[in-house]
Structures are given as structure tokens and as C-alpha cells.
Structure 1
Amino acid sequence: MTHKVFTNNAVSNNASKIGHEMLSDQQTLKDRILSNDSVRIDSDQVNGMPRIIYNHAITKTALRKFVGGATKTFGEKFAKAVELGVIPEPIQSNTNFRYLLTQPEVHALLDHWDFPKYSVDVGSNRFPLKKCVVAVANQKGGVAKSTTTSSLAVASALDLHLRANVLILDLDPQGSMDQFTVHDPENEIFLTLVDIIMGKDLENNQFSELLDVADEKDIIQKAPFETHLCNLNVMPAHPMDERLTDEFWQASSEERDKIFARLRDTILPALQEKYDIILIDTPPVDGPLTWLALEIANFLLTPIAPKEMDYSSTGSFLSALDRRYSTLPSKGKNLKVHKMVLTDHDPKSTAEVNIKHRIVKSAQESLFGSHFVHSDAFIAASSKHRTVLDLSHAEGLCSKINLRKASESVQAVYSQFILAVRSI
């Protein structure tokens, strides 16, 4: 890469040259994902399956209770499904000798038995839910936006009553969500959302090359990566995504509107053909990448840690929100719900409890009654590239009681989150 000189200042020129050298040497999205795969895939096997898959397997008995009906009738239906090849013969656990079903097998059976997807019971009728885009946003860093996004995404995907197809869209250039991806060797598409938004305007862009051989909608729909859950995908970010911010500031008002329109009118409809709930992880800054998320979101979720600095910064972010929406093309017409959630909360801390009371006083019904607890289980989960819902106490990564409290707090927040989703 040739370094272009803009000034006669030797110090700034040398610093800029170093920066260009660092950028030319950084990993591509493909390198990062393949590298993550090599770290994440370990020898921890249980009953012949990876630990993370085993942790989400359910017993045949649990599925029968979920499906309902007589034991004999269920047994006959199950045996017939195996006979037809809907699923293979289930694996028997070495510990309790019960038959285990993986998440893909569970969903395959429910599809075979025509169980409804992404809908809700109202009286004796069942109605489809509206597709939902959730922007997890706060200009304050360190408030657990990524943990909130990934935890709620996994909880949504694991909800068999909901049966939603879920997507995590990472718009934070730090790119923490690529840790959840599972690389399919047959997938040669390595694109971020920014790659797709900027499209043919980028130099040396894989998106432009793919357009010569594939339909744009097909490229968009195939860009997300699989995860350990069959109904949860991730479209990761990359540090180079910051280039959209640079382009945005240099663009005219008309060019900026085209960027918003491309995401809103072309990319989002293609993704919503596949996904019911889209959660967007945003960067800790009030800038163009966050504005893109705000433009298409109908649910804004603001995580806040009960700390003095977080309280002040979050107040600034929210107080400017109405003015920010007034500058967006939609003028905020898409936004239907705003909620706040406490993160990393230690109810034994007097200082945190006092700040929590101040947040409750200000937010009132906009604040979830449940919160994410302070727990080393979240740190343990992150070290294994998972959420706390993906851990088992048998792994010994943290104490059983800490894992239980962390998991219960996620489920409690999820219960309120999904009620808000249903209200849209």
C-alpha cells in the first residue's frame, strides 16, 4: 500500500505511514473467522457431540411434554418420523441413558408435525407476530451492549414456543460478534453489513465480484454466518467498517439519504424474508453507524449499568435522541418501542441501588423490571465465545450458583423483552 503524503509535518507523516502499514497488515474478515474457528473448536466432546451442542440437547421426554398428548401417541409419531428419515435415531446419554435430541433435530420434528413458527396464541386462535428490528444502543461504552445483544438473541432462538429465526447484525467495528460464527467450508461469502451497504462503491470489494454471478438479494441472504443454533445467524463486523463513517462525513445530503435508503429499502427487506427478529449491536458512539440502526429499528433497547458515569452519559444519549431522529430520513416514524435494561447490577452495592432508584424514577415504565446480574459467569461465557445460556455447570467454568443466577437473570430479562416484541 502506497502512503499518500498530505502535509509537510514529518512527525504526523510518519505516524500516518505507521497507521497505513498497520491497516495493510490487519486480518481480513475471512482470516478472523477462520482463526476464531480454530480457537473455538476444541476436543471437549460429550456423547460424541461438541459440548456447546450437547448443552442445548433436550431429552425425548422433555420434547413429549412440550408437544403434549398421550405418551403412546407421541411414541408412535416419533418412531414414524425416525422411520421417514426426518431425524436419525437419537443418541442415548452415557450418564442417564435418556435419548437426547439436538436443537436441529427438535426443529426438524416440530416442522414435520406442523408446529407454528413466530406466532402467538390469542384465545383459541394463533396469529403471526410482526417482524422486529431491535437496535441495542447507548453512546456509553462498557454497558454490556454486546452481552445484551447476544444473550437476548440466544434466548430468542432457544424459545420453542416462539420458534423465531434470529439474526445478529453487528455494526460495531470492534467486531465482537464474529466469535459466535461457525464457518461453513462451502460458504465463500465474507461480507459485513457495511460491505453490502457501500456495495459497488468500494474498491476490491467481494460484493461487486459476486454481483457478476449472483442475484443481489441472494448475496444479502447468504452473507450471515451460521452459529451453534440452527435458527440463529450472525452478520459480523470488521474494523474496516469505519470507512462508512468517513464516507458519510464527506457525502452530500443526497448521498447520505441514498445510504439510508439502501439499507432500509433493499437490504432490510431481503433479510426480513429470512429472519423474524433482527438484533443490531451498535458502536459506543453517536455516529453514522448507530444512525443506520436507529433508522430501521422499531424497537430501541438501551442497556445501562447502574454507575454514576453511565447514568450521566446515558442521560445525554437519550436527551438528544429526539433531535437525532429529526435528522434521519424516517423522522423516527419506524420506532414503536423504547425500553431500558440494567446490566451488570450488584444489588448488594448501596451505591448501585441508589443509582438504580434514580434510573427507575426517570425511566419508570420504560425500564425492564428485571436486570442482568453482576456475575463472573458472563466473563466465563465470553472466554469460551458463548453466552451464559450456552454453559453447563458440569464444565466447571464458574460456580454452579453464579451460573444459575446469571442464566435466570437473562431469562427474566428475555421474558420482558419478548413481551415488548409482541407489542409491536
Structure 2
Amino acid sequence: MGATAKPIVSIDATVKHTPMRIALEDIEIISEHANETLLTVREQMLLPHPKKHAPVFSTSRLASLCRMDRKKVNYYWEKADLGLPQGTILPRTREFTLVEAREWVRKVGPFPARPAGVKGKKIAIGNFKGGVTKTTSAMTLAQGLSLFGRRVLLVDLDPQASLSALNGVIADSEVSDDQTILPLIYGEQSSLEYAIQSTYWDGIDLIPASASLFGAEFYLPFKQSKDSNFRFWDVLNAGLEPLLDKYDAIIIDTPPALSYVTINAFMAADGLVVPIPPNALDYASSTQFWSLFTDLARSMKKIVPDLEKQFDFIHVLLTKVDSSQIATNKVREWITSSYDSLVLPIEIPTTTVTTTASMEFGTVYDISKYEGSNKTYQRAREAYDRFAEMIDQQITSLWSAEVESNVAEVA
């Protein structure tokens, strides 16, 4: 466990109702204290391990991942030619690591592999309002896709670095500027290969973020003002392009603002997912998102008249759905009416499972065995599984269409 954090500034308890003056240079003390406390909290939440560990899978859960019944799993155990991992034998079952489970999925699961010569897809998770589970949606989508055998890269573009934290990486103490997208932004690198790091979760790599990403918001417009040929909106796309042969999906978590970095993410993305909780304020905010997005599109066409940008898909995802709230049904109707076919037929519920996992710097996928109601856990887990499966189906459909197009061109 980390050392107890030092107090920020002592306060005289005998002085009542008097605000405490804080000098500008003392902001650093607050920052240091907060970071020390965060490290301590993380270690306490992750006990007995100071770092995150992937979950393990029972035989039943392995069968579910491979979309087969348990008897079929027993049948495949006997087929030595497949070379499937045998797991660890326990008194009443077997236990499989994430690495072992993913190998089973790849070898005997029903999910088609990415065709040779076809590149991975880039998906941005975006909303200009915070607190809509944007980061959780990015992380769970990556985890869900990995359980279909996909190789996924997570790109954290938010200076708050919440996605990095979900991967067990604390930004200000464990991430240097050279490990973020900044060297690409500054023109020191042409590919983001340098920033990729492995994570605790097999099949998922990460490009982390830190507070220093705010620097990109000053540099990009400055460079554009000095060089009219500088494509400020295409920097991220150019840096990700060399990685598309390596990954089936690249998932980009964006800042909750229409920033230069967000513009880069949207212009790079093949698909866009917009999480919206069904409450009145978030719904109202979402309409502003689309208005600002429209303004952005118009501005980009003025800057680059011949610019052609198409999204393979845009989806609205209902998140933090609490059906016990009277207003939920009404706001759901507003959202469905507003966005029609863009709304995914999936809702991510608010449950004690998701709340508990979030407090422990994790998601529902990080839980090996839930101690509470199995019905509650299944409700939360199945919603995320359906979300990931629907996105995976669209990705594989796009791959198939690309293969057919290539064949037609050759013919």
C-alpha cells in the first residue's frame, strides 16, 4: 500500500467562516496530494494485487464465450489435434485464463477472422458532455470485442485519462509525454507505433493519455496558422493508418468537448458511437452535440472544399438506463424520436454491478465471480455483450463487403 498522502494546507479550526487563501504556486501542492491519494486508493481497491489482473473463466463461461454447450467443450478437450488449452483442474470444474479463453474462441468459436488484406476499423466514442459513460463504453466495447477473438487498440485522447486509469495506468505518475499522442501531434513521429503499450487484458493494447494533452489544443492551430498546407484534422488519422493491419478495431475515447483533438478523432473514425443517458439534461445536451458537429462539418468543407468524409456507421447508445425512474420512458421516447434508426436496440442499465466495478477501477468484464445477485450481474453483462456483438457484426459485414468489392474490381 502507498504511503499516506500529506495534508494539502493546514487550516486553523478556530477561525470560522473565513475562506482560505491559496496562492497560485500552491496549486501544485493540491495536484501532488490528489495524485498521491489516487495511488493509495487504487492500491486499496485492487488488493491483494497492486496492479489489475484479468478475470478467469469457468467451463460454463468458456462454453458461453464459444457459443456452445458444455458437453461440446468436453468433446473438444479430447481433440488433441486442435491443441486447445486444458485450463487448470479444480474440484468441480476447470478454470481458464483470459489468454486460454481467447485461444478457444479463436479456434472453435463462431466469429469469422478478419480477411487477409483487409484493414481494421477505427471507432470513436464521442459526446461533448461528461458523465455519459463515454469511457466505460470504450473500455467495455474493447473487452467485448476481444472476447470474440479480436485484437483491439484503445487510444485515450482525454487529458483526464480515465480510460488509462481503467487499464490500471495512472496518468500523471506513470505516463510521460512521449507515451501519448503528443510526439505525433508535434511532428516528431509519423506513426503511433511508438506509443503502444500492452495492458493487463490479453488482446487489448493502449495508447495512454495525460494532462499534457492540453498542449495539442494550442499547437495544432498554431501550426495551421504558420503552414496553410498543414492538415490539422488529419494528424491522428495519419498516425493510426500504419496500425490498421495489426488491429481488428481501434477504439478512440475522446474529450468531452469539441476540441482540435476531438476533430482529429472524428475525422479519423470509420464509425462513431454517441452514448446518451435517458435523462432530460443529457438529452438536451445531445442536441447541442449534433448542432456543433454540423457546424464542424460545414467549417471543414469551407477549409477543404474537396474533402470527402463518410462514416461507415453512426450509432446512439442509451446508457445509465434506470427503468425505475418515471422520466426514463418519456426521455427514451424523445431520444428515439430524435435519432430514429441511429439508436441501437440495446440499453446499458444502471446496476449495482456497474457501480461496484467502477469503484474498483474496472468494468463488468473484470469480474470473475460476482458476489451479489447472479440475475443482476447477467443483466448488466448481457447488455454489454449485445453492444459488442452488434458492433462486431457490423465490422465483419464491412470486411465482407470490402472483400466482395475487391473481387469485383479484379473480375
TM-score normalized by structure 2? 0.74
Aligned to 1:368, what secondary structure does the other structure show? Answer: strand
Is 1:420 paired with 2:394? yes
CA distance in 2, matches of 1:224, 1:199: 17
Change (3 A) 1:358 1:271: same
Aligned to 1:153: 142
* Structure 2 residue 124 is matched with structure 1 residue 135: yes
CA distance in 2, matches of 1:222, 1:91: 36
Give the superposition deviation at 1:102: 1.8
SS of 1:372's equivalent in the other structure is strand
Partner of 1:369, secondary structure, is strand
Q: Is the 8 A contact 1:167 1:235 kept in 2?
A: yes
Find the counterpart in structure 1 of residue 47 from structure 2: 42
Shifted more, 345-354 versus 360-369: the winner is 345-354
User: What per-residue deviation string (whole Å, max 9, x for no partner) do you get for residues 69-101 of structure 1?
Assistant: 8966751426x848xxxx6x631124x1x3333
Corresponding letter in the other structure for 2:374: K
Matched, 1:312 2:306: no
Partner of residue 262, structure 1: 235
1:368 match: 344
Is residue 144–residue 389 contact of structure 2 (8 Å, CA) maintained in 1? no
Give the AA of the match of 1:91: T
For 1:167, the equivalent position in structure 2 comes to: 153
Instruction: Tell me if the contact between 1:151 and 1:389 (Cα under 8 Å) persists in the aligned partners.
Output: yes
| 2:184 corresponding residue in structure 1 | 197
Letter in 2 for 1:143: V
Structure 2 CA distance for partners of 1:391 and 1:188, relative to 1, 3 Å:
closer
Q: CA deviation at 1:316?
A: 1.1
Please list the CA deviations of residues 337-390 of structure 1 after superposition, one character each: whole Å capped at 9, or x if unmatched: 111010101223221110110111111111001110111211111122221122
The answer as to whether partners of 1:59 and 1:101 remain within 8 angstroms in 2 is no
Change in Cα spacing, 1:24 to 1:412, as seen in structure 2 (3 Å) is: closer
Counterpart of 1:409 in structure 2 is 383
The answer to whether the 8 Å contact 2:336/2:343 transfers is yes
Q: Deviations over 1:229-283 (max 9, x none)?
A: 2111122211111111122343434379344443222x11232232111111111
User: How far is 1:319 from its partner?
Assistant: 2.4
Residue pair 1:179, 1:385 contacting (<8 A) in 2 also:
yes
* Cα distance change of structure 1 residues 422 and 36 upon mapping to structure 2, 3 Å threshold: farther
For residues 117-164 of structure 1, the C-alpha deviation after alignment (integer angstroms, 9 at most, x for no partner) is 8637xxxxx7886521111101111111011111111111112xxx21
Partner Cα separation in structure 2 for residue 263 and residue 247 of structure 1: 14
Amino acid at match of 1:375: T
Matched, 1:77 2:72: no
Query: Structure 1 residues 16, 246: closer, same or farther in 2, change over 3 A?
Result: farther
Q: 1:75 is matched by which residue type in structure 2?
A: E
Q: Distance in 2 between matches of 1:191 and 1:272?
A: 21
Contact 1:136–1:281 (8 Å) recurs in 2: yes
Q: Residues of 2 paired with 1:129 and 1:200: CA distance?
A: 28
Counterparts of 1:198-213 in structure 2, within 5 Å, are 198-199=185-186
Question: Matched residues in 1 for 2:48 and 2:32: separation?
Answer: 31
Q: Residue 351 of structure 1 corresponds to which residue in structure 2? A: 327
Number of matched pairs = 366
CA shift in 2, pair 1:52/1:416, >3 Å: same
Corresponding residue for 2:87? 90
Distance 2:375 2:108 in 1: 38
In structure 1, C-alpha distance between the alignment counterparts of 2:57 and 2:208, rounded to whole Å: 23
CA contact (8 A) 2:221 2:232 kept: no
Contact 1:64/1:71 (CA < 8 Å) preserved in 2?
A: no
Classify the secondary structure of the residue corresponding to 1:302: strand
- Supply the AA of the counterpart residue of 1:312: A
SS in 2 for 1:301: strand
Q: Quick one: distance in 1 between partners of 2:155 and 2:37?
A: 17
Match of 1:245 in 2: 217
Distance 1:143 1:309 in 2: 11
Task: Give the one of 103, 107, 113 matched to 1:119.
Answer: 113
Equivalent pair of 1:170/1:237 in contact (CA under 8 Å): yes
The 1:51/1:401 distance shift into structure 2, 3 A limit, reads farther
The aligned residue for residue 103 of structure 1 is 98
Q: Percent identity, please.
A: 20
Q: TM-score normalised to the size of structure 1?
A: 0.72
User: Secondary structure of 2:124's partner?
Assistant: strand
Alpha carbons 1:59, 1:100 under 8 Å: kept: no
Distance 1:189 1:273, change over 3 A: farther
